[in-house]
Amino acid sequence: MASRPTNALPVLYNELIPISRHDHKNWRFRLQDKLPFMSEIHAIPLAVEEFGMAQRNFPIVFSSGPNPVPLALMGLNDGVNVFFDEEGNCRESHIYLPAYIRRYPFMLAKIDPKSEDMSLCVDPSRGMVGEFEDGEPLFEGDEPSEFTKNILGFCEQFAISAQRTNDFVAELMEHKLLIDGEVAIQPNDASKPYVYRSFQIVSEERLKELRGDVLRKMVKFGLLPLVYAHLMSLSLVQDIFQRQAILGRIPPLPENEQNPSA
């Protein structure tokens, strides 16, 4: 249900090129009111600063594998997003839009693997940047535009948030708080339950068994509210399932299995 992407580029990104005044002097960014690529994205990375807002709308889980990341679930099956339709319209006007989506198509990335320097890059594949007559210019003369400076600042803050998120997950892993998650949902008209796996959650039992000094450290650094936001958000899995059912996006149960491509 929530495995970390295995492709070389992060989710959403098809291509990444560094922004250059030489190559992109006349490029503009054109804001789109529809995001059709979101209709097939069922999980989006989340930063710890977003847990409080995101837990109102999405279940927050951790990806499977040795390097887990927090994810906001927008669907329970690959290719299903209950919050965006096929044309890219958001079905609700008041949901929280994760920073990962708001950052797209820009991103800070290392161009030279031998260097620690980061460059502002962009994905040009979805028609949001190019030599348009309208839109926000990336450059004003030979200098980055105010828009580009603001985007760079946003991406820098995103990178800082990503490091804080990594530190939070590292703390959970150090104390072995993450366990494999499993959710079984039994619709009234189904002979067997739908069982969703391939994600991780915080173990409430292990949390209760933590030593006092570890708990005090988590309280001091504001980690416990993040854990509880995650745990409270898990009740929304049932809501996401019901939304998929209303949209007719629940896959049929395999005859000999209980795990429907979760």
Q: What is the pTM of this model?
A: 0.90
pLDDT score for 206 = 96
Cα radius of gyration (the chain): 20
Helical residues (DSSP H) of the chain, grouped into ranges: 51-54, 99-103, 146-174, 204-208, 212-220, 224-233, 237-246
Average pLDDT over residues 208-232: 94
**All structural domains of the chain with their residue ranges:** 17-247
Percent of the chain whose pLDDT exceeds 70: 94
Residue 231 is predicted with a pLDDT of 98
pLDDT at 251: 85
For residue 192, name the pLDDT band (cuts at 50, 70, 90). Answer: confident
- pLDDT more than 90, % of the chain: 82
Backbone dihedral angles phi then psi of residue 100, each to the nearest 5 degrees: -60, -40
